[in-house]
Amino acid sequence: MDAPLLTHHELVRPWRRATLVAGTIAALELVLLVAAASMLLAKPLSHVIQRQAVAAATAPPKQLQEAIKKMNAPAGKARHPRSAIRIMVFNGNGQSGAAGSEASRLHSLGYRISGTGNARRQDYASSVVMYKPGFRAEGLRLAHDLGIRVVGPLDGIRTSALGGGQLAVVVGA
């Protein structure tokens, strides 16, 4: 039996081919495993990221949190009598004479009126009481006296526009 002898190159060539095929299959399996793992982890991970993003976007800054704390703090007792409080009355509903009639009502309750005028806007749906810093308790007392539910610090009105007053009333519809 005569068999031809294989050369060195003929013996190595099938192993090289087998190694390349096995490496390619291993690389393909790795890609498939990574794809499957990312598909399994994507949904829970996206929920976690979404919750953190919503929490970060809706968390008020520290300064705002402190202001909210101050607004929600108990007002305490009004330190100044009604006769010592000056109020600026703004017409915010567009009806002629609304600020003047509200000023008369306040004067009859014992408040001093620093002036009347028109608000920048004439579309206030309800009346608003605003107060300078340090006059929250007086603002709440005034709102109670007038039956007004909306009370807050000065917003959109400069202190200089109060004519020396400590509180402002914007008469709404």
pLDDT at position 157 is 76
Is 6 in a helix, a strand, or coil?
coil
Q: Convert the pLDDT of each residue in 35-49 to its tens digit.
A: 998 888 888 888 888
**Of 15 and 47, more confident:** 47
The residues near 122 (Cβ < 8 Å, ≥ 6 apart) are 91, 92, 93, 94
Radius of gyration over every alpha carbon of the chain, rounded to an integer in angstroms: 38
**Gap between the Cα atoms of 136 and 77, Å rounded:** 10
Are 127 and 172 in contact by the 8 Å Cβ rule? The answer is yes
Instruction: Give the residues across from 153 on adjacent strands.
Output: 131
Query: Which has the minimum average pLDDT: 3-7, 13-17, 87-91?
Result: 3-7
**Gap between the Cα atoms of 169 and 156, Å rounded:** 13
Is the model's pLDDT at 1 over the cut of 60? no
The residues near 169 (Cβ < 8 Å, ≥ 6 apart) are 87, 88, 89, 90, 102, 106, 127, 128, 129, 130, 142, 146, 148
Q: Convert the pLDDT of each residue in 162-172 to its tens digit.
A: 888 899 999 98
Q: Convert the pLDDT of each residue in 108-152 to its tens digit.
A: 999 999 999 988 888 888 999 999 888 888 999 999 999 989 898
Is the model's pLDDT at 33 over the cut of 90? yes
Predicted model pTM: 0.56
Mean pLDDT taken over the chain: 84
**Gap between the Cα atoms of 91 and 173, Å rounded:** 10
Mean pLDDT of 91-107: 91
Is 1 in a helix, a strand, or coil?
coil
